[in-house]
């Protein structure tokens, strides 16, 4: 972070601008992807298999009700696909929700919080659409929604001067490793995003030629060959900011293969996994788009605490105070 910082909007204007960012982007997203807004669960039965296990290390927040354990959702990756079947959505249409989660094992810093807020969306596609071209087309549509929102916000608040790349640069995780063989995954993300401004890294979860994954992914919702992360350069912080993680969801073959690679075959006994194996769920594409992350980017904020009310350690609060950062 920079040593000297002054927000271009005061707290009241910031609150106003947060609402404008969220309302405008959501409208763009729903229109461009043909989605409708639906309600979403805050907690689910841990035995259904609908919980998102993320990279497998995060512990869900749980509580007991009448002898039954429920878990606060970590994302709605699996629930949304199940909901699309239950609601009877047709190919080419889908849903979007306001998802709020608690990730108690998160390492807190300027872009990470215990509170996760995102637009969790999911869309029905055909079996033939399970390909890279479909993935790229949806990523491009999402980025156009971001750019349109950015233009609107800059018109509303002329104090902002950032420029977003005109288009998304696509690269696979393997191509990225080949390009920067002597760098770590995070260093590779930094270099490629700084160069191109907006980058989508395809194929996250499986092992690369080096024997290491670019990053960890749960094996039972995204197809590791057809997923990825959208990174946008945050000029104030000087880092790549992950705005969304998304992908085409697993079919029977990819899920069984990935679960075996991850040595968690016991999951295949759960209801959700059986439905995938029995081909009872629709083919879908989906992901989560960070609401606070997008606000940080478009409002040129240095800390996620400037755009969401969270919990911060005394050390983090002191650091923000010294830098002139006012957390909500």
The DSSP string of 207-245 is B-TTSSBSS---TTTEEEEEEEEEEEEETTTTEEEEEEE
82 token code pair: 């199940």
Question: Model confidence over 197-216: pLDDT tens digits?
Answer: 999 999 999 999 999 999 99
Between 46 and 5, whose confidence is greater?
Answer: 5
220, 229, 306, 316: the catalytic one is 229
Question: Model confidence over 185-196: pLDDT tens digits?
Answer: 999 999 999 999
Question: Model confidence over 251-286: pLDDT tens digits?
Answer: 999 999 999 999 889 889 888 899 999 999 999 999
106-128 average pLDDT score:
91
Q: Look at domain 11-312 and name its CATH class.
A: alpha beta
Give, as one character, the DSSP assignment of residue 158: T
**Is 242 a residue of the active site?**
yes
283-293 average pLDDT score:
96
**Is 229 a residue of the active site?**
yes
Report the pLDDT value the prediction gives residue 1, as an integer from 0 to 100: 43
7, 28, 103, 130: the catalytic one is 103
Q: How many CA atoms lie within 13 A of 298 on its CB side?
A: 30
Alpha-carbon distance 126 to 16, whole Å? 40
119: phi then psi, degrees, rounded to nearest 5: -85, 110
Return the domain boundaries, the chain: 11-312
User: To the nearest whole percent, how much of the chain has pLDDT over 90?
Assistant: 68
146-168 average pLDDT score:
95
**Nearest residue to 284 via CA among 74, 140, 96:** 96
50-57 average pLDDT score:
65
51, 113, 118, 308: the catalytic one is 118
7, 218, 245, 291: the catalytic one is 245
* The pLDDT of residue 156 is above 50: yes
Q: Is the dihedral of CA 22, 166, 237, 76 positive or negative?
A: positive
293-297 average pLDDT score:
96
**Is 45 a residue of the active site?**
no
- The overall average pLDDT reported for the chain is 91
């Amino acid at each position: 972070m920079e040593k000297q910082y002054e927000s271009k909007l005061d707290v009241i204007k910031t609150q106003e601008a947060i609402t404008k960012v969220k309302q405008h982007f959501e409208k763009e997203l729903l229109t461009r992807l043909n989605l409708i807004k639906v309600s979403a669960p805050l907690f689910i039965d841990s035995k259904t298999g609908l919980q998102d296990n993320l990279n497998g290390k995060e512990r869900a927040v749980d509580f007991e009700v009448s002898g039954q354990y429920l878990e606060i959702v970590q994302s709605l990756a699996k629930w949304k696909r199940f909901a699309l079947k239950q609601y009877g959505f047709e190919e080419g249409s889908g849903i979007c929700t306001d998802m709020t989660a608690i990730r108690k094992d998160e390492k807190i810093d300027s872009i990470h919080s215990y509170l996760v807020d995102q637009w969790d969306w999911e869309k029905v596609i055909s079996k033939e659409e399970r390909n890279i071209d479909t993935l790229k087309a949806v990523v491009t549509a999402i980025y156009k929604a971001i750019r349109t929102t950015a233009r609107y916000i800059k018109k509303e608040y002329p104090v902002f001067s950032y420029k977003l790349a005109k288009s998304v640069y696509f690269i696979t995780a393997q191509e990225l490793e080949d390009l920067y063989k002597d760098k770590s995954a995070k260093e590779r993300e930094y270099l490629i995003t700084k160069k191109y401004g907006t980058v989508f890294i395809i194929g996250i979860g499986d092992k690369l030629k080096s024997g290491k994954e670019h990053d960890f992914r749960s094996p039972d919702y995204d197809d590791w060959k057809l997923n990825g992360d959208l990174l946008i350069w945050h000029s104030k912080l000087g880092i790549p900011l992950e705005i969304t993680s998304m992908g085409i969801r697993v079919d029977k073959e990819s899920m069984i293969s990935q679960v075996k690679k991850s040595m968690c075959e016991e999951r295949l006994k759960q209801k959700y996994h059986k439905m995938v194996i029995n081909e009872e769920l629709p083919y879908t594409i989906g992901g989560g788009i960070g609401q606070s992350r997008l606000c940080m980017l478009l409002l040129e904020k240095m800390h996620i605490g400037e755009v969401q009310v969270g919990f911060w350690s005394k050390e983090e609060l002191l650091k923000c105070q010294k830098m002139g950062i006012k957390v909500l």
